[in-house]
Structure 1
Amino acid sequence: MSSPKKEQTGNTVIVGIDFGTTYSGVAFTWSNKIERMEVITSWDSDLHSTSDEEKTPTAISYNSKGEVSWGYSIPFEPEQGKWFKLLLIDEKDLPDEIRGSTKLKEAREYLKKHNKTPISVIAEYLRLLWNHCNQRIIETVSRAVVNYSKFHIVITVPAIWPQYARVRMREAAKDAGMLTKRIAGETRLDIISEPEAAALATLSDMEGRCDVQVGDTFVVADCGGGTTDIISYEVINISPMAVKECVQGQGGLCGAVFVDEAFVQILKKKFGQKAWDKMEGRSRHRIIHDEWEHGIKPMFNGNMRPCIITMPVECIDFSAFMTGRRAVPKIEITADDVCTAFDPVVDKIGGMVAEQAAAIKTLQTEEKLKGPKYVILVGGFGRCKYLLTALKRFVGEDVEILQSRGSGPWTAICRGAVIHASSLQGLGSFTVQIQSRIARASYGTTVIRDWNSRMHKKKDKYWDEERQGWYARDQMDWSLKIGEEMISDKPVRFSYSRLYSTDEASQRKIEVKIYTSTESPPPPRKESSVLLLCTIDWDTEINIANLSTYTNQLGKVYYKLEYELQMGSKNVVANYEVKG
């Protein structure tokens, strides 16, 4: 099997950015030093104990003086904006249970208070993140290397995000100054899906292992702060390692933040609303940060001794002491309480993993009826011990669940983003290929078709003067349908034609609108579930003398322009090109 064609460049700095719902991470490499990929850990911090983490909080704070702080550098007391990543998605596209989330409501209110839009606050955060990382890269490889190198930036986004959210992310990156022209040339920005980036990092770690054979299948579960994406692959070659996505991926808004929110609701109930309202912000932070984030949550595996939390002094009813009735200054958190917080999210993830495993089984022959060899957990929430324990009951004993310790799962996405760009640039020895993907949406254009009263709606019927016949307008021609295979670097071709009268001979511009739908199967006509993805403008001089002609029933002659729309696919994103 031949290796894919790679883009050779000079000095290049590659930066992979995992812009997460709760935490963000950055990895980078340069020139031919892919083996020396580095993850940024030196964050400006108001808390010295957290400054060397592999990620920094996706949080921002504006004070009354107009000053901005972010990540670990936010002083404790001020309000801060969190969860704003999820605001890139229109409210109508959020699930009902997420739309009314307390955290999302707080995020919207914070942005409204400071007169910010989701794009503007994300651009502000990315600018601060980018400036910090740029300085760290300079300190690592020297200012000269940075100044005279091209930059290739890869930002990851959830696979479940609609296309418009990807466009907004690109706009925010541009507004953040990440694409500012450099001495060495234009900065390249790619946006790829989080599960694919995580899979690339995972595949890189698995390459050369004796337990990986052609025909093996495995599921990568990217469990993050806000979203979980599931993607499944089949190994089709060992050296170089090549895989293809074997079943349609799944995803949902079911990440760690929803477990956190559920636990806060449990605390409120335990303390009582009156005591909770009296609690100072510092006390809440201590309980949630120390007792939960760095205590119960990462260590919980389904069993634990009751955790006793001392009630902050401001919550104690001292009048009870005056009357001889002592208020109980402690609350107890049991294993059942913690399961109550975890289970709704874990069950959703488990259900998706089970569906992937079942779908993989349907692809096997009767002689080889089996599920995936491995389920591999990555992402911040992918390190959760309880998630590992709970998933075993969803996939059974025949499927092995792999969960790395340390920072590997947490940094898989930003590392995978670097590996993606490095493989395109031809840097280093990384050879894993993702040869095909399964479409998570349908892509197509509107066309007219010969009128058929049994197939078409009456409101679509119209008389075409040029062709002198009855036609149905706004019919969909899906160039790629949801669930179909997208082969990397092998475009799908569709032919179209357009008629011109002699009066239109000077016309230069052709406009093609691309639509998308997540319905399965996609609808045959343009309706509410069919959304405009983008508009392609083709501006070229048309020499009608070189065109063939078409004569209608009335003898009127038209010039016929034939052109081709090519759709390629990389990173689960459709790319279109018009050829005349």
Structure 2
Amino acid sequence: MASNVQGKMLLVAAFDFGTTFSGYAFSLRDDPNKIQTNWNWYAGGGASLKTPTSVLLNQKGEFHSFGFEAEDYYTYLAEDGAHDDWRLFRRFKMVLHSSEHLMKDVTVEDDCGKQMEAFPLFVMSIEYLKKHLLTPVVNLNVGINEADIVYVLTIPVIWHDNAKRFMRDAAVEAGIDTSRLKLALEPECASIWRENTDTKNDVTVKEHTIWWSISDIVGDNSGDASKPNCAFNTTRPASGGTISLTPANSFLILS
């Protein structure tokens, strides 16, 4: 089933769901080396490839906004003393690192120290990233539907299996078809990518973004990075950032 989906995919999108910042990139099957990222997040007057992993809930406990929009709106409310019962959550991904006995009802604290189950926050975040991705995809005007997209979530190798299941369940709850969802372990995929590249690959640094040309990197949905053809993250000491490469031949997010 997974191979059939891979063969029919028209676009691969990778979500870098980070502890502090999140973002995505995508490329088309017909032009896999043309990696496209989002430049529509703005911070301090400048464009950013990533947005804070922050979720703002309104007074009814409903999703209001994500990222810079969530941070800015909460600040606006707080300045006027109108933020009572609004809830801002930051760095909640850390809960997945904390326990090998992780349960779906694990809780996190908002900015004021009030507890809430973490799972809905992951679902809301992935829903937001998915919806945000679909806007530039539609604007490409190449006839791609949501069902034509394969999604990749990169995950840390140190996570226990229940943390991986937690993230997969959140993505499925967010509306991603499980047959088009792949988990990719970060360092193993980096090693596999390096083993399958040669010195002919071009590396260009521009605006703190590095574009690497790689070939036929497609992860499987087991999240087993010991197999070839996976997405990856690796560190680049010169910048201190994290690079996320994703399938469909190549693309990258720099954090």
Instruction: Give TM-score, length-normalised by structure 2.
Output: 0.65
1:62 equivalent among 37, 57, 71: 57
2:88 equivalent among 75, 80, 84: 80
Task: State how many pairs are aligned.
Answer: 204
Pick closer, same or farther for the CA change 1:24–1:149 going to 2, 3 Å: same
Verify the 8 A CA contact 2:6 2:150 in the aligned structure 1: no
Matched, 1:208 2:200: yes
Percentage of matched positions with identical amino acids = 23
Matched, 1:383 2:212: no
Instruction: State the secondary structure of the residue aligned to 1:191.
Output: strand
Once the two structures are TM-superposed, the CA of residue 83 in structure 1 deviates from its matched residue by 1.4
1:193 is matched with 185
For residues 304-453 of structure 1, the aligned pairs below 5 Å read 378=235, 383-384=239-240, 409-410=241-242, 412-413=243-244, 416-418=245-247, 422=248
The letter of the residue matching 2:35 is M
Pick closer, same or farther for the CA change 1:200–1:112 going to 2, 3 Å: farther
1:158-202 deviations in whole A, cap 9, x for unaligned? 0010111111110000111122xxxxxx75111011224445666
Q: Unaligned stretches of 5+ in structure 1? A: 95-106, 180-185, 210-239, 241-376, 385-408, 431-580
Partners of 1:157 and 1:11 lie apart in 2 by 22
1:136 is matched with 136
Once the two structures are TM-superposed, the CA of residue 113 in structure 1 deviates from its matched residue by 6.9
2:207 is matched with none
Once the two structures are TM-superposed, the CA of residue 133 in structure 1 deviates from its matched residue by 1.1
Once the two structures are TM-superposed, the CA of residue 138 in structure 1 deviates from its matched residue by 1.4
Q: Which gives a bigger RCO, structure 1 or 2 (Cα 8 Å, sep 6+)?
A: 2
Pick closer, same or farther for the CA change 1:119–1:149 going to 2, 3 Å: closer
1:542-574 deviations in whole A, cap 9, x for unaligned? xxxxxxxxxxxxxxxxxxxxxxxxxxxxxxxxx
1:500-539 deviations in whole A, cap 9, x for unaligned? xxxxxxxxxxxxxxxxxxxxxxxxxxxxxxxxxxxxxxxx
Pick closer, same or farther for the CA change 1:137–1:7 going to 2, 3 Å: closer
1:323-365 deviations in whole A, cap 9, x for unaligned? xxxxxxxxxxxxxxxxxxxxxxxxxxxxxxxxxxxxxxxxxxx
Pick closer, same or farther for the CA change 1:73–1:156 going to 2, 3 Å: same
Once the two structures are TM-superposed, the CA of residue 6 in structure 1 deviates from its matched residue by 10
Pick closer, same or farther for the CA change 1:207–1:132 going to 2, 3 Å: same
Partners of 1:146 and 1:115 lie apart in 2 by 40
1:158 is matched with 156
1:76-119 deviations in whole A, cap 9, x for unaligned? 2455211111212454679xxxxxxxxxxxx8222997763222
Pick closer, same or farther for the CA change 1:117–1:31 going to 2, 3 Å: same
Verify the 8 A CA contact 1:13 1:149 in the aligned structure 2: no
The letter of the residue matching 1:57 is P
2:169 is matched with 171
Verify the 8 A CA contact 1:111 1:118 in the aligned structure 2: no
1:53 equivalent among 44, 48, 56: 48
1:223-265 deviations in whole A, cap 9, x for unaligned? xxxxxxxxxxxxxxxxx9xxxxxxxxxxxxxxxxxxxxxxxxx
Instruction: Pick the structure with greater CA Rg.
Output: 1
Instruction: State the secondary structure of the residue aligned to 2:116.
Output: coil
Partners of 1:57 and 1:85 lie apart in 2 by 12
Let me know the Cα RMSD of the aligned residues: 3.8
Instruction: State the secondary structure of the residue aligned to 1:9.
Output: helix
Verify the 8 A CA contact 2:23 2:129 in the aligned structure 1: no
More helix by share: 1
